[in-house]
Structure 1
Amino acid sequence: MGELKDKTKGVSNEIAGNAKQMAGEATDDPSLDAEGEAQERKGEAQNLSGEIKGDLGDKI
């Protein structure tokens, strides 16, 4: 169960992060671009966590 939850949150954060990056680039706002980059990385980490949980059978 934790695997799916982490992966769902991860994808959501990656999408939101990408949107912020595009908005930051379009408006020439480096802080929004950086915020989006950080959120995207957070999503990638959540996806990795979900994959690990899936591989280990949600025992972590």
Structure 2
Amino acid sequence: MQRYAVRPDSSGYTVMDLDKGGPATLGGMTQSGLSKADAEHTAAVLNGDTPVPEPQLVLPRR
């Protein structure tokens, strides 16, 4: 069973933390009022279904 699920809310979609029984928080921000695509992506990343890409360092050209 996955810990995070997407549920519709009054202003879009919420990523629910099923273990806690409420909205998920990420970086101190409640994951609610999201677009469906953003909520689904966030839940997939939190569930480990989608790998998080390594940040790429981009240096300016000289």
Pick 1 or 2: higher relative contact order, CA cutoff 8 A, min separation 6. Answer: 1
Structure number having the greater strand percentage: 2
Higher Rg: 2
Structure number having the greater helix percentage: 1
TM bucket normalised to smaller? under 0.3
TM-score relative to the length of structure 2 = 0.27
